[in-house]
Amino acid sequence: MATSRQAVDKRRVILDAAVRVFARQGFHTCRVSDIADEAGVAYGLVYHYFQSKDQVLDTLFLERWDVLLDAIRETDSLDLPATEKLAAIAGFIIESYRHDPDLMKVIIIEVTRAANSFGGAHIGKISEAYELIAGVVRKAQATGEFRTEIPAEFAVMAFYGALEQVLTGWIFGLLDQGDEAYEGAKAHVVETICRGLAA
C-alpha cells in the first residue's frame, strides 16, 4: 500500500483519474493507457499499484460501498421510525450522487447495474445492503409500523429499485437535475414507497 513520504499519493491519483475516465468512456471502452494518461503517469505504474484493470474498479466500488454499508448500519442502530430510517438511507445515496456524480455514475453503471460484468462479481456486497435494509423493514413490520402483507424482500427491491432507477434517470439525462430535483426525489421516493408499505 502507501509506502514512503511522497508528495502525492500516486495510487490515489490513479484512482481519481480512473473515476473520470470510467465515467466518461465507460470501463469496457477505455484502455488502461487512458487511465494512465489522465493520471499523468506511466502505463506501468497502474500495474505497480493494482493487479489488473478490474482491480481498479473493484477498489473504487468497495471503498465507496463500504461507506454506504456503514451509513446504513449507523442509521439502523438509531431509534427512529422506519420511514425516517429509509429517508436517511435514500438521502445518503442521493447526497453521494450530488457530492460526486462521476463516482456514483461509475458505481451504478459499471457495478451495481452491470449484472453482466462486475455486478455478478460483487453480488455478495450488494446483497449486504439489501439485507440491511430488509432488517429495517422487518423491524417496522414487527412494531406494526409497516404492514406484513408485503414480504420484506419485496419491500427492499421496491425501495432500492426505485432509488437506483431515479439515479439512472439522472445519469442518462432522462430526469431533471439540480438541487431542488434532488430534494424532491428524496422526498418522493421515500413517500411513495413508505405509503405503500405503511400499515
Partner DNA sequence: GCTGCGATTGACTGACGAGTCAATCCGGGT
Partner DNA sequence: ACCCGGATTGACTCGTCAGTCAATCGCAGC
Contact residues for DNA, defined by CB under 7 A:
3-6, 10, 30-33, 41-45, 47-48, 52-54
User: Please, which residue, 52 or 192, has the CB nearer to DNA?
Assistant: 52
Q: What is the 3-state secondary structure (H, E, C) of 102-146?
A: HHHHHHHHHHHCCCCCHHHHCHHHHHHHHHHHHHHHHHHHHHCCE
Q: What residues numbered 36-95 form the site for its own copies, per CB under 8 A?
A: none
User: Please, which residue, 51 or 77, has the CB nearer to DNA?
Assistant: 51
- The verdict on 148 binding its own copies (CB under 8 A) reads no
Q: Considering the complex, what minimum distance in angstroms separates the CB of residue 114 from DNA?
A: 16
Q: Which of these ranges, 10-18, 52-60, 93-101, 171-179, lies near its own copies under the rule CB under 8 A?
A: 171-179
Asked whether the beta carbons of 167 and 97 are under 8 A apart, the reply is yes
3-state secondary structure of 198: strand
User: Please, which residue, 101 or 119, has the CB nearer to its own copies?
Assistant: 119
What are the phi and psi torsion angles at 198 (to 5°)? -60, 150
- The verdict on 184 binding its own copies (CB under 8 A) reads yes
Pick the binder of its own copies from 142, 178, 191, 199 (CB under 8 A).
Answer: 191
Q: Considering the complex, what minimum distance in angstroms separates the CB of residue 180 from its own copies?
A: 12
Residue 139 CA to residue 136 CA, distance in Å, equals 5
- The verdict on 178 binding its own copies (CB under 8 A) reads no
Q: Considering the complex, what minimum distance in angstroms separates the CB of residue 136 from DNA?
A: 38
Residue 9 CA to residue 134 CA, distance in Å, equals 39
Helix axes 179-197 and 152-171, enclosed angle (nearest 10):
160
User: Please, which residue, 12 or 28, has the CB nearer to its own copies?
Assistant: 28
- The verdict on 182 binding its own copies (CB under 8 A) reads no
Asked whether the beta carbons of 193 and 86 are under 8 A apart, the reply is yes
Burial class (CB in 10 A: 0-12, 13-18, 19+), 88: buried
> Which amino acid belongs to residue 3?
T
Which residues lie near its own copies (CB under 8 A)?
26-28, 108-110, 113-117, 119-120, 123, 127, 130, 149-151, 153-155, 157-158, 160-166, 168-169, 171-172, 174-175, 184-185, 188-189, 191-197
